[in-house]
């Protein structure tokens, strides 16, 4: 059976595997997981994440009732409030006043604003990149933050998806949505391309964080 026979979700995963693997091998994330950084570096990661999640979730609100992609605006995924709780715990109530986007974060935010409110497939590309990653690899980060840095509930709310079903059934549901949404072949090609771009934008944030903290 070929990737094309398996459906679009499998094609998307295969078509973005290389960029995904590059992002996973980030120097910053490796140093964080090994306990070589301090909590300020972790707080910086969450702060930068808040900036792009805020825009992505504004776009999610925009597409909620769309007949083509509204089903991807799944209740319980929003990360803005968990990030606010974690940043308040780590940095204090004035955390937003201290939040400055890294150059790569600004580029990420600019791309989200450019495409995610007008192009449904681009929004799905960025949505897929962020949420499926945080539901999978993000759980490794959560456990390491608890083990290495002594954080318990406060500080790792970002990586808890308490309103979402168990990860595997959720991922299966999400991939079924990718398979059954009536994309054209051109739209599928564009979605794969934008997903790769999303992984590169995310990797650039890790690169900037490494330059600052490692």
Q: Do 53 and 130 touch, CB atoms closer than 8 A? A: yes
Domain count, the chain: 1
**pLDDT above 50: residue 3:** no
Question: pTM value?
Answer: 0.94
Backbone angles phi, psi at 36, to 5 degrees: -90, -5
Q: What is the C-alpha separation between 60 and 57, in angstroms, rounded?
A: 5
Tens of pLDDT, residues 31-41: 999 999 999 99
CATH of the domain at 126: 1.20.910.10
96: containing domain: 3-213
| Least-confidence region, from 44-53, 100-109, 135-144 | 135-144
The whole-number average pLDDT for the span 42-48 is 97
Share of the chain above pLDDT 70, in %: 98
Backbone angles phi, psi at 70, to 5 degrees: -60, -30
DSSP helix/strand/coil, 67: coil
């Amino acid at each position: 059976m070929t990737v094309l026979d398996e459906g679009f979700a499998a094609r998307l995963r295969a078509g973005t595997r290389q960029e995904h693997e590059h992002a996973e091998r980030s120097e910053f994330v490796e140093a964080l997981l090994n306990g070589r950084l301090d909590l300020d570096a972790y707080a910086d990661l969450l702060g930068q994440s808040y900036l792009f999640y805020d825009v992505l979730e504004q776009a999610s609100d925009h597409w909620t009732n769309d007949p083509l992609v509204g089903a991807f605006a799944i209740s319980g995924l929003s990360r803005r409030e968990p990030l606010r709780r974690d940043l308040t715990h780590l940095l204090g109530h004035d955390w937003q006043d201290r939040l400055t986007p890294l150059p790569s974060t600004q580029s990420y935010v600019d791309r989200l604003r450019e495409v995610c409110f007008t192009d449904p497939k681009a929004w799905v590309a960025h949505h897929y990149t962020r949420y499926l990653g945080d539901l999978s690899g993000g759980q490794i980060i959560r456990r390491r933050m608890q083990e290495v840095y002594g954080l318990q509930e406060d500080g790792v709310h970002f990586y808890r998806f308490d309103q979402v079903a168990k990860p595997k059934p959720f991922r299966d549901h999400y991939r079924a949505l990718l398979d059954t949404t009536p994309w054209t072949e051109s739209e599928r090609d564009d979605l794969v391309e934008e997903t790769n771009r999303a992984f590169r934008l995310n990797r650039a944030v890790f690169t900037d964080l490494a330059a600052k903290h490692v």
